[in-house]
Structure 1
């Protein structure tokens, strides 16, 4: 297709999608699909149509965006938001916590936030969730609130019983939850997008920056910074942490949540205050995969509900666990090279393990080292073929690198893990 580079440039200027990142095969596939729908057999004619029609541009965007999300996909970040909301409301009970989900895709992320907040005891009147996406079809799905199996992954699916009703085509989200999210179309790169919006306490902008070239990334990060309250937080995807680290932003130190906040110069003589966000409980290394359960004693209480202070973490008896916990701590602070070195140390001293390779993969992901990350995730799956988190992380990498077929195969494997571990009711 001779006109493919020019068509790709039009998509890039409209939505930031970089053909060098997603691959030419993806762009060519969606262009051919639109040409067939319009009965156009010449890509030059299609380019002319695209350049003159905003409707056609939106139709191409609808195909080029591949939704990939599920409920509580980013559990650590979502639970941290629930905790943060309670802390802020305790200090300012009359000021609602403002949350932005961008892009919100088909709604799983903002709805997960709403469920977590409710289960943490936050009243609907105490928070606002705004959700934007460039793809109108995604917003229609979100508004309908009807979801299939792919939207429910992992083993912790108790929220589905509490907030959904079984339906013929999947599960219907309760109307009470659907009313808690305000959906609207929006384009991150539009000149007037949210320029007059009130600032937010929390911004979720996960797994979209990786599709942009560096200059567009800087443009979007500048926008996000302008939308943050002075003490606000931004959560990004594992492969995007290195994009946000700058003289203006720093890690919020929330375990594997990839949260960032504005840097604040604190005089050395100032009294040390409690951190803005309480770190999440350390995770047992055996749970660094799909489960990610806190080491704290198990409880059936609602997410984030009040509870006695957690007991001090016992010293791990396994030296490798100690090293991996130190690596996690360094990674949370943005010290990725040191964290990676500790993972390599644990592997060298204790031998290969799925836990160590998975954490090392996340660290490489956060530093933008996609090939090393992919190599680590594959080692995890060699050691633990049913490691769902590694399956999903690797699928996300393949999707971003223009291999949707390979990504889909991995997602299907992850779904089979979920299906085999779900309780069956006779």
Structure 2
């Protein structure tokens, strides 16, 4: 790492590419008398470091992003309150970006009739600018990407060309500036029933990932749920978490936790976001004694046969029927030899059966056929880290990060 990369890594925990760091420094130097980068770094102040961090964090988000996670959280919270109506449910969102994630959770709970006195949401982000924007509760049209925008009519008022969230929901979320890695656990140990920490670990190196997961494990209460990003599920499973069998929610619990109550998915799902074209829900398999949330019903397929086989392969993998998923993926490849998604599923199946070399080979075929396959890039990066190939891991993470940014902007 360059001195600038090391400085930002120490401040944020993020593993950033040299080009991204140099670009941010050049931008800040336009407002600085420093003649070169060394002079700029020598004059670094806490205030300037904060401004530099603002340029390298990835704060973009939108309401109802990956809605299955919010639906799974709602069902869990309902079951917990049904057991103890006097329990105060505590929810954590970290990083919270500009507040779209915690406000979405508040809207989901409000629409479900959960009393406001029954829950509170804490939301942290390393960026002071993001926190201030979240506190304002004002959002432009880009924050509303769901196909169903009924929630905007229910919970927002107009603010010129923008929209302001209702005061009632703003009061349910407590925003603070903070870095997960620097959390003082203190009274927060076991404090939260539900934690959202999505798409943060993909920017961390292996030691930082381990440290972050240890913090989250300490913050999560007994029997609580944690929601991660798709590509982060394997990292959590390597550090004492068990995945929930709830498609596309990417939820986990601590392996030592008491059983969570089974809940029936609601008939009406939360509004759907504009999702990536290829995003199968194939989390790591739960141990035999794992307690599961009830899965979302799978509608009867009605697509052509080749697509049916791929959908069936995903469904079988979701159910942990790995051999059947593998055979069905191969049947699909017999009809569609250039299916990147089939190779991706084969990679997952082989990873989950500890055939890592085969998994790597399949994922490499996947990105050969579809170079911007985000999930395959993330899994290859995690595998490279496991093999202590830090150079390859860093390159793959940077490549995945570029794909991630492009997809969010599309």
TM-score range, shorter chain: 0.7 to 0.9
Query: What is the CA–CA distance in structure 1 between the aligned matches of 2:151 and 2:346, rounded to whole Å?
Result: 29
Q: Which residue of 31, 34, 53 maps to 1:40?
A: 34
- Structure 2: unaligned runs, 5 residues or longer: 279-293, 353-358, 376-394
Contact 1:327 1:338 (8 Å CA) reproduced: no
- Distance, in Å, in 1 between the alignment partners of 2:346 and 2:113 is 35
**Is residue 241 of structure 2 the alignment partner of residue 249 of structure 1?**
yes
2:10 to 8, 13, 30: 13
1:105 corresponds to which residue? 97
Q: Distance in 2 between matches of 1:374 and 1:282?
A: 35
RMSD (CA atoms): 4.2
Distance 1:202 1:183 in 2: 16
SS at match of 2:221: strand
Kept in 1: contact 2:24–2:52 (CA 8 A): yes
CA deviation vs aligned residue, 1:225-251 (integer Å, no higher than 9, x gap):
111111011111011111111362111
Instruction: Answer whether contact 2:157 2:166 (CA < 8 A) is retained.
Output: yes
* CA apart distance, 1:359: 8.1
Q: Is residue 137 of structure 1 aligned with residue 134 of structure 2?
A: no
Q: 1:162 aligns with which of 154, 158, 176?
A: 154
Q: Are 1:330 and 2:320 matched, yes or no? A: no
Write the distance in 2 (CA, Å) between the matches of 1:310 and 1:220: 28
**TM-fit CA distance, 1:207:** 0.4
Measure how far apart 1:374 and its partner are: 5.6
Deviations 1:126-165 (A, max 9, x none): 1110000110000111111111122111312221121112
Cα distance in 2 between the residues matched to 1:311 and 1:265: 23
Does the residue aligned with 2:30 lie in a helix, a strand or coil?
A: helix
The alignment covers a number of residue pairs equal to 363
What's the counterpart of residue 344 of structure 1? 329
Question: Which structure 2 residues correspond to residues 199-278 of structure 1 after superposition, within 5 A?
Answer: 199-246=191-238, 248-264=240-256, 275-278=261-264
Structure 1 residues 241-295: Cα deviation after superposition (integer angstroms, max 9, x where no partner): 11111362111111111111112499xxxxxx88545467899xxx995799xxx
1:171-186 matches, within 5 Å, as 171-186=163-178
**Would the aligned equivalents of 1:199 and 1:227 in 2 still touch at CA under 8 Å?**
yes
Structure 1 residues 407 and 161, CA gap change in structure 2 (3 angstroms)? same
Task: Give the distance between the partners of 1:16 and 1:174, measured in 2 at CA.
Answer: 34
How has the CA–CA distance of structure 1 residues 105 and 84 changed in structure 2, closer, same or farther, with 3 Å as cutoff? same
SS of the equivalent of 2:211 reads helix
Give ranges in structure 1 of 5+ residues lacking alignment.
267-272, 293-308, 381-388, 390-397, 415-426
CA distance in structure 1 between the partners assigned to 2:366 and 2:178 by the alignment? 32
Give distance in 2, aligned partners of 1:248 and 1:311: 25
Q: Aligned with 1:240: secondary structure?
A: helix
Provide the C-alpha distance between the structure 2 equivalents of 1:178 and 1:121, rounded to a whole number of angstroms: 17
**Residue in structure 2 matched with residue 417 of structure 1 by the alignment:** none
Mean CA deviation greater in 206-215 or 65-74: 65-74
Provide Cα deviations, 1:356-386, integer angstroms capped at 9, x if missing partner.
569859969x999887776676799xxxxxx
2:21 maps to which of 18, 21, 27: 27
Provide closer, same or farther for how the CA distance between residues 313 and 131 of structure 1 changes in structure 2, counting only shifts above 3 A. Answer: closer
Q: Distance in 2 between matches of 1:118 and 1:282?
A: 15
Task: Give distance in 1, aligned partners of 2:79 and 2:159.
Answer: 37
Could you say what secondary structure the match of 1:37 adopts?
coil
Paired residue for 1:61? 53
Q: 1:339 to 1:178 in 2, by over 3 A?
A: farther
CA contact (8 A) 2:244 2:251 kept: yes
Structure 1 pair 157–399 and aligned structure 2 pair: CA distance change class (3 A): farther
